[in-house]
Structure 1
Amino acid sequence: MNRSYEGFRILLVHAHPDDETINNGATMALYADLGAQVTLVTCTRGEEGEVLVPALSHLASSQKDQLGSHREIELANAMKALGVTDYRFLGAPSTKFRDSGMMGTEPNNRPDVFWQADVDAASTILAEIIDEIKPHILITYDEIGGYGHPDHIQAHRVAMRASELSTWEIQKIYWNTMPKSVLAEGIAKMKEIGSDFFGAESVDDLPFAKDDEFVTTLIDGGAYVDAKMAAMKAHETQISLDGPFFALSNNLGLQIWGDEYYTLVKGTKCEPFDVHGRETDLTSGILLQ
């Protein structure tokens, strides 16, 4: 019988709508379903994202520039699928940070993009949310934002700075990670069917691939893969049904999306552990208060 997580509070800080589902969808669904308070703060609306649905191409920033409002709807639908009711945009409704686009592109230079935001100012806004919800656990990106996207890097900076500025002491902080061994298996399977995973010939071609030793924690969200897949489908403009994410699940099994990996950067790694010595519960060792 699954334990109850009633009383535990988890805060996730992400850059764009869809990042939360890809990185943490099963984790969010699991903890929310079992009673934890799960709060998502998304820093931008993803206005510069590529539109993968031809019928919606007019929403792109290069055309009508209406993608952000559409992705708000996608996020709401994804959160419904994951069972998460507390989701917010950083600074809303008074402040709005725009998607910065990829590193070195023209949108980076706009004064209203998240990449150009004053880190302390943005962190103060997030610190107010931390003091309001009093999370025991914070989940965000590593110092390179996983793969170097400006908004991911900035989300990391803002989340970590906010944890310092807030009056509430967060007991455990995790960074998302993806181990090389898992990605290598995925690449091999895709090659077997004559396809590829984001054009990677080997795991070393993927900037977000980390050595397995960085994984301190593995959450088995296998029972919530259906919810995660439904949430991924909700992000229709960003995640193609015939793209690498769904191809991986078709060829490696749905558990590829049920296992979610983390690096503990604040707090103590505590039992229970799996056979590899990795934590299996984000809340382990936390004192409820």
Structure 2
Amino acid sequence: MTDHAGRPAQRLLLVHAHPDDETIGTGATMARYVAEGRGVTLVTCTAGEMGEVLVPELEHLAADREDRLGEHRKGEIADAMGVLGVTDHRWLGGFGTYRDSGMQWHADGYAIPADTIHDNAFWRADLTEAADHLVRIIREVQPQVLVTYDQFGGYGHPDHIQAHRVAMYAAQLAAVPSYALDLGEPWQIGKIYWSAMSESRMRASLRALRAAGDTTSFEGMDPDGPLPPFVTADENLSAAVDGSAYLDQKMDALRSYPTQVQLEGGFFALSNNEGSQTWAVEFFRIAAGRRGPLGPDGLESDLFAGLED
């Protein structure tokens, strides 16, 4: 179904920090909505220039050597979007406007800003300037649903936190009737979600791994103990999008990121056993708007639930 402008009647906008973030957290949802004929627009805030390089023959691209990783990851995300079927991908402010800020690990297990940050790092971006780049996109695309991270960026990465700030602020500014009309006609986004990971699903998957004898993947994480901040208590979840039919697509899209992602073991160990459903069903917390009809699990099964076309 299309609107009067010939666009898909239902349109989703996602704001992510670096190439691969979108596929890890929302890839199945993106593939499903594309297949269902809904509009999917992805905005990536940086090219991930400061990422680690997992492929030895490409280590020369790293920031502390040739510093050409961003260009390479630009190609990786193009390949991943081809796999997911997403044809509308934007760079916030244009490619290269904002650089990956980098990060380091705090002793308590979450990310914090690196000691040295480039001048044009996204973490240092002027909030209104960065938001205006997104306001222009919001007013052009006119999405009914926006997806981004929570206020902690899932695990504390400064670029994830900044993406959250920019997305939430831009959503407000875009709706103001008198604000910066040179950026387009005002648009009110109907529902805003923060991506999440289900605590019960994560604990079940960890138990499956440990029962199978895997004690190294998610090392230090006890199925019955404290979990890291990117895991969300089930009572705080609002929606669960079942992307089981698109799990293979999601995993193939992740394979488009060889410099960043290894599907064998580690964080993605769950993709190689019965715990793969951890990556097939994607969870969200509602941050603005009203929830639509709920399923027997008490969650929405569709991010557009309750919205009129």
Is the TM-score greater than 0.5? yes
Give TM-score, length-normalised by structure 1.
Answer: 0.93
Of residues 165-174 and 242-251 in structure 1, the stretch that sits farther from structure 2 once superposed is 242-251
CA distance in 1: counterparts of 2:123 and 2:230, whole angstroms: 20
Correspondence for 1:122: 130
Other structure's SS at 1:106 match: coil
Aligned CA RMSD, in angstroms, stands at 1.7
CA distance in 2: counterparts of 1:227 and 1:63, whole angstroms: 33
CA distance in 1: counterparts of 2:267 and 2:249, whole angstroms: 15
Say if 2:295 is the partner of 1:286: no
Correspondence for 2:221: 201
The unaligned stretches of length 5 or more in structure 1 are none
CA distance in 1: counterparts of 2:296 and 2:217, whole angstroms: 29
CA distance in 2: counterparts of 1:141 and 1:278, whole angstroms: 19
* CA displacement at 1:183 relative to structure 2: 1.3
Instruction: Give the alignment partner of residue 55 of structure 2, picking from 53, 56, 59.
Output: 53
Other structure's SS at 2:196 match: strand
**Percent identical across equivalent pairs?**
48
Any conservation in 2 of the 1:9–1:37 contact (CA below 8 Å)?
Answer: yes
Correspondence for 1:244: 266
CA distance in 1: counterparts of 2:280 and 2:113, whole angstroms: 34
Instruction: Give the alignment partner of residue 169 of structure 2, picking from 161, 171, 195.
Output: 161
Give TM-score, length-normalised by structure 2.
Answer: 0.87
Say if 2:114 is the partner of 1:105: yes
Other structure's SS at 1:194 match: coil
Any conservation in 2 of the 1:6–1:34 contact (CA below 8 Å)?
Answer: no
Correspondence for 1:138: 146
Structure 1 segment 4-153 matched on structure 2, within 5 A: 6-93=8-95, 96-102=97-103, 103-107=112-116, 109-153=117-161
CA distance in 2: counterparts of 1:104 and 1:125, whole angstroms: 23
Q: Which amino acid aligns with 1:157?
A: R
Say if 2:191 is the partner of 1:172: yes
- 1:253–1:209 distance in 2 versus 1, CA, 3 Å: closer
* CA displacement at 1:45 relative to structure 2: 0.3
* CA displacement at 1:245 relative to structure 2: 4.2
Any conservation in 2 of the 1:43–1:89 contact (CA below 8 Å)?
Answer: yes
CA distance in 2: counterparts of 1:170 and 1:277, whole angstroms: 24
Other structure's SS at 1:204 match: coil
Q: Deviations over 1:233-256 (max 9, x none)?
A: 101111113233442021224322
Instruction: Give the alignment partner of residue 258 of structure 1, picking from 275, 280, 292.
Output: 280
Any conservation in 2 of the 1:239–1:245 contact (CA below 8 Å)?
Answer: no
Q: Deviations over 1:8-44 (max 9, x none)?
A: 0100000000000000000000001111110000000
Other structure's SS at 1:177 match: strand
* CA displacement at 1:205 relative to structure 2: 3.9
Of residues 235-244 and 44-53 in structure 1, the stretch that sits farther from structure 2 once superposed is 235-244
Any conservation in 2 of the 1:186–1:197 contact (CA below 8 Å)?
Answer: no
Any conservation in 2 of the 1:187–1:196 contact (CA below 8 Å)?
Answer: no
- 1:159–1:115 distance in 2 versus 1, CA, 3 Å: same
Q: Which amino acid aligns with 1:104?
A: P
Correspondence for 1:234: 256
